[in-house]
Each structure stands twice: as structure tokens, then as C-alpha cells.
């Protein structure tokens, strides 16, 4: 820690993907979400942590790894398919090296991508034996990052009226975290930053000490918070701490107009050789359905708002990332100095972002984080990076405030997840939750085939509750898939419920469903009792 620092910066990366796993298909488009995130976000972050460890650079970073994401990371089928995906990209990049041999600017980029994919394979397979959880656990055990959990399947708690079902989202998540990471989680990222009064009791029941809210969740609290969002508050009935998001630092990264990722020199996400090149050339690297896809090989920079794009220049983009990191640090220094004088104590500036922004959407994002943390370590004395747990240990005395209902979605409340495109799902979800509680009460000591069916019913409920499906319906992308997932899990739950009550469980069909929807293999349906 800096001797004369004026404040703390808590960087929070929310790493999440919905549980997408389809063994019934040879390949599946939506599984690519996971593979792209590994290559472009998770491995670059791990490599950054490793460099910091080797160089003795002190830093703190908080990162949620949601239970659905951890489950995918630990799944042998998805591990195998990711390697297959990487091998295909390495092959494609090799062909691009040959194709662009007389196009110097493109050739340089082809070489870059070939190195990137080859390096990702080395890290994934050779260093971590296909299990990246071990990498994150190592750095958590070293005290540099704090991994927090989330609801079991990223369920949106403000729209979950059944308290036992809401509690199950938290309890299952905490148990799963402990199994994979070797200790109980101290903190949680509530899905979509969604909080309603009473959720803190669910967290306390699971032993969780803190959570995050959007800015207005704290500012509209009762009583008015003395330090705004620049100090945590304790919920009055539970003493669970709530940390509020700092709008200023968020805007500098998130804003489509003012944020760093929109700089014209950064790589353009939407221009990809999967769509740009001749179909016959690219066809061997597409999925079996033959539809064009994003390959991850992109040769152009943002350039401007139009369709005409200039060639991407990695060296210039890295310089921009370093400049933007310096600008962000400068602004946080001035912010901390101002707040320190105003509040009479060190503020904590909480800056949360979706982890997949860095690397996937904003290709230079991991470079930006690395430059920022290096600059904080070497170039200033005003700021310390910190995790929420460390902050609470250092500053245990905080104001009691009841946070207000809030989310970080559009308009700040529930509208994204409850509106005309997706409101039809909730009668089904509510009925499933009530019926799951009913089953758990009716069969307290199940074993054998009945036990398997009850556990699978719990999995189907959890998978249907993922907030991602409602979000996708609202945004209008991959809507058909979100509809299908919701209907599939609802239909399977209904069949299980009726078969259990009628004592006619079909073991063959149950086995097929267990193999497909295999999240949380150690689940115990009695969590709903």
C-alpha cells in the first residue's frame, strides 16, 4: 500500500456466460461464445496475472466467475471442443499467412493471430491441462485477486418472489464455489446488479459478506448515505455490506460516445474474415450448417462511423491503450484527492465492468488493464488498488443504510427483464419455482431414480431462471435460441414434475436429459425444502 495514498480503486470484472452446452450436436454456434471469451478475455487476463507475479508487481482486482461459467470451464466436453476450435483457428491463421504473403499490412496481422491462437493453446493445454479454474484459484490464493460468486445461473433476484427459490440460487452458488475454489465466497455479484430489500438476508444465510449495487441503489437508500457511493454501507438487519458503482469511472469505459473502446484506432469488432472472404475459401472453417460466422480474425480498425475501414495497426492501438490507461489513472487520482478533502477519509472508487468487454468486444482491453495496473504500481502515490474484503477489514466501521431496489440495466430497475418481449416467461418460472418447493417438501428422503429425477428438476428450474434469456429477448439478438432454451427447460421440468407425481419416471429419457443439462452434478434438491 502507498504510504500517503488518498483513496482506493476497486476494479471489478464480472465474468459470465449462460450455460451453453449441446452434446447432441457436433458443433453449436452459441458454444462459440465460450470459446471466444477464453481466447480473447480469460487467457489474456491470466497471462497478465502471471506476468505481474513474475515481476513482483503488486495489484488487487476483484473478479466474479459465475457458477455457470465455472461449470463450463470444468466440463470435459467443452474443454475438448475448445481445443478443437483453437486447432481450427490455428489452421486458418496459417492459411492466412500464406494468402497475405504479398500484402504486408495484412500479413503482419495474420502472423499476430497465428501467434495468439498458438499461445492460447499452449497456455490452455500445456500449462493448465485444459482447466483454467486452477489458474484463477492460484492467483486468488496468492492474495492478488478476489474471486466472487453470482447466482447459480445468473437468476434475476428482484423478479423471484419465491424466497426458497431465490435462496437456492445463492446457496447452490456458494456450495459450487467452495467445491471448485476450496473456500466459501466472501462476496457476490448479484445478476444484473439486481437488488431488492430482503436479498441481503439470503446472502447472509449463505455466509456472504458483501455485494454490489448500481449507484442509485446506495444513493436512494434509507437513511441518505453520508459518503455517497464512496464508502460501503451495511444493511441494517443483516450487516451485509453493499458497495455502490462509481458512475464517473464507469462512463469513461462504458460510454458508446465518450468511452475509450470507441477510439478510431482500436480494432473493429464487426469486420471479420468469416464474412469478408470468399465463401469457398472460408467454408472448411465454418460449422457444419455452413453459415458464416465470426472467426476472430479481424483486419480493420474502427476508423469511423461509416463502412469504409482502414487496416488495423496493433502498435498504434497499444499506444492508445497506454494513453487511455494513463488518462483513467489521472482522473481517478484527481477524483480521490477531491473526495479525500471532501469526506475527510479515503474514498473507495468502485469500477465494475463486464469482463468480456476486455478482449472480446474491446480487443485492446486487457492491454488497457495491464497498463493501468502497472502505472498505478510504478507511477503514482495517490491510489491503492483494493478488494472489498480488504477494505472491510481495514475499515470495519460503516454507516447502516437500507439500499433501494435497483439494477444496472436500462433505466435502473427491472424494465430490461420484464417488458413486452419477455414477460410471457414469468408465469412459467414462478409456477416452476412453486412446484419445485412442493416436490422438495413432498419427498424429503428420496433415493434412487426418484432422487435423480428431483435433482434434474432442480437443474431445469435453475437453467430456465437464467436472466440471459430475458435479456436476449429484449435486445433482439439470438431471440429464437433464448425462446428455445426457456421452452426446453420449462417443458423438461413439467414432464419431470408430472412423472414424479405419477411414479412413472422414464429412466432412459431421464439419462438423456441428465447428460445434456448436467450443470451442478452434486446438486441436492432438498435446498428447496
What percent of the chain lies above the pLDDT cut of 70? 100
Q: What angle do CA 460, 32, 170 make, to 5 degrees?
A: 35
CA distances from 159 to 174, 244, 245, 384, 498 (A): 21, 21, 22, 37, 25
Q: What is the pLDDT of residue 256?
A: 67
Does domain 60-74+131-255+313-411 fall into CATH 3.40.50.12370?
A: no
CA distances from 98 to 91, 299, 314, 482 (A): 11, 15, 20, 40
List Cβ neighbours of 242 (8 Å cut-off, separation of 6 or more): 195, 200, 210, 211, 212, 213, 217, 218, 232, 233, 234, 235, 401, 403
In tens, the pLDDT along 261-296 reads 999 999 999 999 999 999 999 999 999 999 999 999
pLDDT, mean of residues 80-106:
98
> Which candidate, 269, 359, 351, places its Cα nearest to that of 13?
351
Calculate the average pLDDT of the chain: 97
Q: What is the pLDDT of residue 462?
A: 98
Q: Which CATH superfamily groups domain 419-528?
A: Families 57/38 glycoside transferase, middle domain (1.20.1430.10)
- Inter-residue contact 344 to 5 (CB < 8 Å): no
For 351, list phi and psi in degrees, rounded to 5: -120, 90
In tens, the pLDDT along 218-250 reads 999 999 999 999 999 999 999 999 999 999 999
In tens, the pLDDT along 477-521 reads 999 999 999 999 999 999 999 999 999 999 999 999 999 999 999
> Which candidate, 214, 181, 155, places its Cα nearest to that of 458?
155
DSSP-assigned states of every residue in 79-134? HHHHHHHHHHHHHHHHHHHHHTTT-HHHHHHHHHHHHHHHHHHIIIIIITTT-THH
Q: What is the pLDDT of residue 75?
A: 98
* Pairing mode of beta strands 233-234, 241-244: antiparallel
The grid coordinates of residue 358 equal 476486455
Measure the CA–CA gap between 137 and 179, rounded to whole angstroms: 12
Q: What is the pLDDT of residue 368?
A: 98
3: confidence class by pLDDT, cuts 50, 70, 90: confident
In tens, the pLDDT along 341-397 reads 999 999 999 999 999 999 999 999 999 999 999 999 999 999 999 999 999 999 999
- Where are the alpha helices (H) located in 379-524, listed in sequence order? 388-394, 425-442, 448-464, 467-475, 479-502, 507-516
In tens, the pLDDT along 98-123 reads 999 999 999 999 999 999 999 999 99
Q: Is the pLDDT of residue 2 over 80?
A: no
Enumerate the domain spans of the chain. 60-74+131-255+313-411, 419-528
In tens, the pLDDT along 421-462 reads 999 999 999 999 999 999 999 999 999 999 999 999 999 999
Q: What is the pLDDT of residue 13?
A: 98
Number of alpha helices (DSSP H) and beta strands (DSSP E) in the chain: 20, 9
pLDDT, mean of residues 189-215:
98
Q: Is the pLDDT of residue 1 over 80?
A: no
Q: What is the pLDDT of residue 115?
A: 98
Amino acid at each position: 500500500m502507498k504510504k500517503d495514498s488518498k483513496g482506493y480503486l476497486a476494479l471489478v470484472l464480472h465474468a459470465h456466460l449462460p450455460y451453453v452446452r449441446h452434446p447432441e450436436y457436433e458443433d453449436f454456434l452459441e458454444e462459440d461464445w465460450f470459446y471466444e471469451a477464453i481466447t480473447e478475455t480469460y487467457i489474456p487476463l491470466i497471462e497478465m496475472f502471471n506476468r505481474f507475479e513474475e515481476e513482483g508487481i503488486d495489484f488487487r482486482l476483484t473478479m466474479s466467475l459465475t457458477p455457470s461459467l465455472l461449470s463450463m470451464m470444468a466440463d470435459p466436453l467443452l474443454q475438448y471442443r475448445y481445443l478443437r476450435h483453437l486447432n481450427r483457428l490455428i489452421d486458418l491463421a496459417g492459411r492466412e499467412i500464406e494468402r497475405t504473403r504479398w500484402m504486408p499490412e495484412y500479413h503482419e496481422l495474420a502472423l499476430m493471430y497465428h501467434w495468439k491462437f498458438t499461445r492460447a493453446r499452449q497456455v490452455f493445454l500445456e500449462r493448465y491441462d485444459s482447466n483454467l479454474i486452477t489458474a484463477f484459484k492460484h492467483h486468488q490464493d496468492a492474495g492478488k485477486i478476489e474471486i466472487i460468486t453470482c447466482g447459480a445461473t445468473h437468476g434475476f433476484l428482484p423478479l423471484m418472489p419465491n424466497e426458497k427459490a431465490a435462496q437456492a440460487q445463492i446457496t447452490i452458488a456458494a456450495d459450487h464455489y467452495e467445491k471448485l475454489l476450496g473456500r466459501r465466497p466472501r462476496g457476490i455479484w448479484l445478476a444484473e446488479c439486481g437488488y431488492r430489500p430482503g436479498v441481503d438476508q439470503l446472502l447472509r444465510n449463505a455466509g456472504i459478506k458483501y455485494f454490489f449495487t448500481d449507484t442509485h441503489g446506495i444513493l436512494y437508500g434509507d437513511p441518505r448515505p453520508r459518503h455517497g457511493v464512496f464508502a460501503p454501507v451495511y444493511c441494517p438487519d443483516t450487516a451485509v455490506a453493499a458497495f455502490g458503482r462509481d458512475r464517473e469511472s464507469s462512463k469513461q469505459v462504458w460510454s458508446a460516445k465518450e468511452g475509450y473502446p470507441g477510439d478510431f484506432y482500436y480494432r473493429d469488432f464487426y469486420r471479420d474474415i468469416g464474412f469478408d472472404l470468399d465463401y469457398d475459401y472460408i467454408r472448411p472453417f465454418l460449422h457444419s450448417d455452413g453459415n458464416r460466422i465470426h472467426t476472430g480474425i479481424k483486419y480493420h480498425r474502427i476508423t469511423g462511423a461509416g463502412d469504409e475501414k482502414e487496416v488495423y495497426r496493433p502498435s498504434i492501438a497499444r499506444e492508445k491503450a497506454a494513453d487511455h490507461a494513463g488518462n483513467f489513472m489521472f482522473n481517478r487520482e484527481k477524483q480521490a484527492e477531491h473526495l479525500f478533502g471532501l469526506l475527510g477519509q479515503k474514498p473507495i472508487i468502485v469500477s465494475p465492468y463486464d469482463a468480456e468487454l476486455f478482449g472480446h468486444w474491446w480487443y485492446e482491453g486487457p492491454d488497457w488493464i495491464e497498463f493501468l495496473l502497472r502505472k498505478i504500481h510504478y507511477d503514482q502515490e495517490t491510489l491503492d488498488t483494493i478488494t472489498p474484503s480488504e477494505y472491510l477489514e481495514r475499515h470495519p466501521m460503516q454507516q447502516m443504510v437500507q439500499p433501494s431496489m435497483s439494477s444496472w440495466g436500462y433505466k435502473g430497475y427491472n424494465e430490461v427483464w420484464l417488458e413486452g418481449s419477455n414477460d410471457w416467461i414469468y408465469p412459467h418460472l414462478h409456477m416452476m419455482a412453486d412446484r419445485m418447493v412442493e416436490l422438495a417438501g413432498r419427498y424429503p428422503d428420496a433415493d434412487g431414480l426418484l432422487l435423480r429425477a428431483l435433482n434434474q428438476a432442480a437443474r431445469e428450474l435453475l437453467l430456465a431462471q437464467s436472466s440471459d434469456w430475458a435479456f436476449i429477448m429484449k435486445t433482439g439478438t439470438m431471440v429464437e435460441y433464448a425462446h428455445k432454451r426457456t421452452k426446453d427447460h420449462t417443458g423438461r421440468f413439467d414432464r419431470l414434475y408430472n412423472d414424479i407425481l405419477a411414479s412413472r419416471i422414464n429412466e432412459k429419457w431421464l439419462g438423456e436429459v441428465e447428460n445434456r443439462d448436467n450443470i451442478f452434478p452434486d446438486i441436492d434438491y432438498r435446498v428447496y425444502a
